[in-house]
Structure formats: C-alpha cells, structure tokens
Amino acid sequence: MFSASPTLDLICRGLFLTTMVMVWVVLLVRINGLRSFSKMTNFDFVMTVAVGSLLASASQTTTWEAFLQAMVAMAALFIVQSVSARLRRRSDKIEAIMQNTPVILMRNGEIIDGALEETRVARSDLLAKLREANVLDLNEVRAVVLETTGDISVLHGEHCSEALLKGTKA
C-alpha cells in the first residue's frame, strides 16, 4: 500500500490512516455539533461504540476501498444521529419509541423494591450510588432515578421539585 518493505508499510499505513481517520472524526464532530459523543440516550452510547469500532477498522485496513467504506459508515452514523435527534425533538411519539423512560428507584427515603426488580438494579448497587453521592441518611434522599443512559441520579436535600421528576416512571 505504501512501501515495498512490509515493516515500513505497516508503520506508514498505521500512522497515515489513523491520522486521516482522526481528522475525519474531528471534522464530523465539528459539523454535527457538541452532542456527537454525549451520553444522553442509549443511541448515543451505541454511536460512540460504533464510531470507535469503525475508527479502529479504518486504521487497520489494507485497501483504500475498505478505508473509504469505514469513512462513509462513520459519516452515515453521524447523519443518522443528527436526523434521529431532530425527529425526537419534534415528535413525542418518536421520542417514546426511541427513548427509554427514566425509573424512580427511591422516593422520600424509601427504596422501591418493585422498581429495583424491574430494572435489575441490585440494592447493593443502589446503596453504593447513595454513598457516592455523599448521602449520610436515607431520609435525606428525595429521589433516586435510573436515567435512560443507565446512570443513576441521586437527588437529596430539603425539597425536590416535581419538575425534575416529570416523565419518570415510579
């Protein structure tokens, strides 16, 4: 591909292709915006993993056709992400189809065992997240929410606005 020497070819190909694909990813992120690798939805997580996989594939290709295919596939992922984000913003039905509903695991100091069972979150994992959030007393906890991304949000203090829990499943 680059040189008659197999070793030199491997080094040149790895450096050149990786540099090219990294520049391509940066360009796509600049076009698509800051949300490109956010972790707001499960689709965003899949997008990040898929781009990483394609980046690795592109940097190891042995033909220009395979390299170009990986570059086109990356662009297609960014386009799909952009279109799906626009559709979700415009339609509650599409939002409901594409997005999981956040689930309340704990409310006003009480652990909701049914929610833990439904979401397959272990009580020990919940307690670990409470410790991580510096909760000293379960009665301080207003709500614990398993977000659509799989993250757990711990809301504690004197009061929790109902607006923060809008759209969650109890």
How confident is the model over 2-29, as a mean pLDDT?
86
pLDDT in tens, 47-81: 889 999 999 999 999 889 999 999 999 999 999 98
Pairwise CA distance, residues 71 & 21, whole Å: 7
Name the token pair of 83. 């279109």
Round the average pLDDT of the chain to a whole number and report it.
88
pLDDT category of residue 41 using cuts at 50, 70 and 90: confident
Would you state the pLDDT for residue 3?
A: 62
Pairwise CA distance, residues 55 & 16, whole Å: 13
For residue 10, what is the enclosing H or E element? helix 6-32
**Looking at the DSSP assignment, which residues form a beta bridge with residue 103?**
146, 169
How confident is the model over 11-29, as a mean pLDDT?
91
Would you state the pLDDT for residue 137?
A: 92
For residue 130, what is the enclosing H or E element? helix 123-132
Name the CATH superfamily housing domain 103-165: bsu07140 like domains (3.30.240.20)
Q: Is the pLDDT of residue 159 over 90?
A: no
For residue 55, what is the enclosing H or E element? helix 42-59
Would you state the pLDDT for residue 150?
A: 84
Residue ranges of the chain that CATH labels 3.30.240.20: 103-165
Specify burial of residue 159 (Cβ count, 10 A radius: 0-12, 13-18, 19+).
Answer: exposed
Query: To 10 degrees, the CA torsion angle through 13, 14, 16, 19?
Result: 160
Whole-model pTM: value is 0.70
Q: Which range among 28-37, 39-48, 99-108 shows the weakest confidence by mean pLDDT?
A: 39-48
Q: How far is CA 52 from CA 14, 32, 59, 92, in A?
A: 16, 16, 11, 30
Nearest-CA neighbor of 143 among 108, 101, 170?
108
pLDDT in tens, 94-132: 887 887 888 999 999 999 999 999 999 999 999 999 999
Pairwise CA distance, residues 119 & 103, whole Å: 8
